[in-house]
Amino acid sequence: MENDQVEIIEDNSETVKLLTFVYFILGLIIPFWIITLPVFWFLAYRDYKSPNGKPLFSNQPTAPAQTAKVVTPTQNFEALEKLNELKEKGILTEDEYNREKSKILNS
């Protein structure tokens, strides 16, 4: 019976040594992350901000670019007809008519 008790004590001593080693490793790893996470957060935050304090990147969309107005050939034709009517009525001079006509044809 004494031999059985001695073996049990030896098994417990191996377990204690293993747990001591595991706790030692965890003691080294856990404080490392507690220290490095705030440092990484600060570095990421610093790179996100510009020197003047405004964010470099934004989730808000920028102002949309002005879209070109799509003009169909029939709309151009109608506009030219109106210009011609104004010219015939004497409301537009020849220079004004040619200027507006070139704007319509170039659009």
Categorize the per-residue pLDDT at 33 as very low, low, confident or very high, splitting at 50, 70 and 90: confident
Residue 63 included in any domain: no
Two structure tokens written together for 60: 């808000």
Residue 102 included in any domain: yes
For residues 14 and 52, state if they share a domain. yes
Residue 101 included in any domain: yes
Domains identified in the chain, total number: 2
Residues 6+ away with beta carbon under 8 Å from 35: none
Domain span at 88: 73-106
pLDDT in tens, 60-102: 666 666 666 676 778 888 988 998 999 999 988 999 999 999 8
Categorize the per-residue pLDDT at 56 as very low, low, confident or very high, splitting at 50, 70 and 90: low
For residues 49 and 80, state if they share a domain. no
pTM given for the model = 0.36
Residue 40 host element (H or E)? helix 2-48
